[in-house]
Amino acid sequence: MKKTLLALCAVLGLGSAYAQDPGSKENPLTVDAFIDLGVPTAAVPDTYVKGYIVGFVDGAAYETGAKFTNEKASASNILLASSSKEDDPTYCIPVQLVSKSDVRAALNLVDNPQNLGREVILCGSREAYFKVPGLKSPSSYEWIGSAPVSGTAVTELNEKFAVIPDTWTVTKLSGDKDFYAYSYNETTYATATGYKGTEPPYDQWLISPAIDIEKCADKNLTFKTQVNGYGSTTSVFETYVLTSNDPATAEKTKLNANYAVAPESGYSSWAESGDIDLSSYKGNIYVGFRYYATEDANYATWCVTDVKLNASATVDPVVKTYTVAEVIALGADAKEAGQKVKGYIVGYVPGQVYKDAVFGVTGEVSKTNIVLADAANETDVNKCIPVQLPAGAVRNALNLNENTGNLGREVTLTGNIEKYFGVPGLKSVTAYELGEGGDDPVTPPVEEGKTYNKVSAIAAGSAYAIATSGKVAVALNKAYGYFSVADVAEGESFSTSADVAFTFEDAGNNAYYIKDASGRYYYQTGAYNSFNVDEAVSNDSEKGFAWTVEFTAEGVKITNVLKGKTIQYDETYNSYGCYPEITHALPSLYSENGSSAVESVEEAADVAAEYFTLQGVRVAQPQQGIFIVRKGNSVKKVMVK
């Protein structure tokens, strides 16, 4: 039985329930309190009341005429309740909407069906209306939270989050992290985490557009989730129905769903939510996904995709093929998911600044992006767009580091047109079609590899490979990043021709400097878990060049002295990073068997053979440098003088 506000306050010994100027602008009445006051003997002007619009009165009889819908609504009144889900007229009040008033124009459900379920504060005259406590002649209104979405609410959801659509709301109530779109292994999704955040706790929200649930033939909500297993003890993922897209002020109802379960390490498989029945809701609702985490040693990352509601009516978006000029014309803020772009591969971006783009394949060629233009000989960055190459088949086939023959070649790419390097670009590429132009990439001949043997101790000045789980770390080809890997048949020894030799030089105090075969030293700076590379060791106190090496039963702990982070293999991203906690596989160390890389290179100035660059491109007249030479069945690396 619903208690009246007066009775409640009497029980609690709080005195009059209305001692704090009830009904004022600063202290509006709730609908329940409004009803408790009954029908006044005389009208009470300038009374403020707060509640949710839940329907209207059809006809002259209140009890039988109360309708909890926006279908065939009356423009002359609305019903207000303390809950957006109220469907009993006993707990509602009727509100008169005076003809030709601003309040009527803004609130009536005929012209504004999206108002159903929204919370509002009204100021009017408290008096009898339809012979029950009501509000007449309201003179002002104020929405609680953001104003309702104008126009017609959607009647379906079918979202894979190739990008976060503009119709969805991304917001946070605390912390410095937001939901964002991501793709991995050709699956796109929205994801949230506290990782790399600096202001816990984190309360992040991803909220759908307004949904007119009563017009949805299928009212079952479904989605998929995935979560990593990095040992978080506080990270939580939840789903809600909200009355607005402002989670700070909306009425929220938590939904029961099946969620992914974090494994001990890495990411879980995708889990189906199961059917979530939303048929009990009325009017316009919002579906919200919430990520919450307090301060934690390791934050879990949650992912969501395939959000569907009444999705059978959804029509696939129209896909067109854009030129590079057309993409540029859309501007950096454009978001067009799943579109095609056609152009010529003309270069790459070596760092983080787009204007530093390199036209050609000189220097340390990046594997993670290419630059596209409408002409094969374009050299003006303002007439080009950057293209992100996601890890996997797309990157393997298109990157100029390993496919120099792609330079100048025409390609059609399928991906998301959106901002990249701060300019119009293409991200999350899922498919490609190589056309004419450029040289066909040459598959490099198989090179005789070096053999590496597992060790249980190291000697300063010697070179070692870093490997575990059949994955050996490969030296960086740029100034920073995570170690990519080469596959090896790991055991007590393995053979590979990849650039995997790292020399551990004495740094004093039982520490080492790590140097690759190109003579570059590895260090860490900032809060990143990746590596930086420099030509020489620096004394800069902000840069960590020194590393300790500890052999344990679980593997070798190679730890950055300054940052306290240890090199580990991340199977999810198939790379080596340097992390503050032992959350991934520790590697083993393997020494080179035989002569060093320089000593193994033979002089071949007079050898008549086929020559290839280290990227596999055939050259007719090799100049001075290192090449792969094939003569008959013999293949080896040589130095040409």
Give the tens place of pLDDT for each residue, 295-304: 887 788 999 9
**393 membership: H or E segment, kind and range:** helix 393-398
Question: Looking at the domain assignment, is residue 425 inside a domain?
Answer: yes
Residues 81 and 225 in one domain: no
Same domain, 589 and 625: no
pLDDT of residue 444: 41
Check whether residue 574 and residue 607 sit in a common domain. Answer: no
User: What burial letters (b/e) apply to 217-238, b meaning 16+ CB within 10 Å?
Assistant: ebbbbbbbbbbbbbbbebbebb
161 and 309 housed in the same domain: yes
Is residue 149 a part of any domain in this protein?
no
Q: Tell me what pLDDT residue 187 has.
A: 83
The answer on 342 and 302 residing in a single domain is no
- Tell me, yes or no, whether 422 and 491 share the same domain: no
pLDDT tens digits along 112-136: 887 888 889 999 999 999 999 999 9
Same domain flag for 269 and 287 = yes
335 and 218, same structural domain? no
Residue 562 lies in a domain: yes
User: Is 585 part of a structural domain of the chain?
Assistant: yes
Instruction: Give me the CATH number covering residue 521.
Output: 2.80.10.50
Q: Taking Cα atoms as reference points, which of 398, 394, 422, 418 lies closest to residue 348? A: 398
Confidence of residue 16 (pLDDT cuts 50, 70, 90): very low
**CA–CA distance, 119 with 636 (Å, rounded to integer):** 76
Q: Give pLDDT tens digits for 559-601.
A: 999 999 999 998 877 889 999 999 889 999 999 753 333 333 3
Identify whether the C-beta of residue 55 lies closer than 8 Å to the C-beta of residue 110. Answer: no
Continuous segment of H or E residues that includes residue 285: strand 284-293
Same-domain check for residues 355 and 458: no
> For residue 229, what are the domain limits?
157-313
Please check whether residues 194 and 286 belong to one and the same domain.
yes
Is 400 inside any structural domain?
A: yes
Beta-carbon contacts of residue 351 (< 8 Å; ≥ 6 apart):
478, 479
137 and 282 in a single domain? The answer is no
DSSP code string of 187-234: EEEEEEE-TT-SS-SEEEEEEPPPEEGGG-S--EEEEEEEEB-S--SS
606 has pLDDT over 50? no
Dist CA 378 CA 385 (whole Å)? 11
Last residue of a domain, one of 383, 403, 434: 434
Q: What is the mean pLDDT of the chain?
A: 83
Q: What CATH number is attached to the domain comprising 69?
A: 2.40.50.200
Q: Is the pTM for the entire model greater than 0.85? A: no
Same-domain status, 570 and 473: yes
**Measured CA distances, 33 to 12, 48, 51 (Å):** 16, 11, 11
517: in domain? yes
Per-residue pLDDT at 9 exceeds 60: no
Is residue 444 in some structural domain?
Answer: no
Per the structure, the count of domains in the chain is 5
The answer to whether residue 383 is domain-embedded is yes
- Contact call for residues 117 and 212 (beta carbons, < 8 A): no
Half-sphere exposure of 9 (CA within 13 A, CB side): 12
Please tell me the predicted confidence (pLDDT) of residue 484: 86
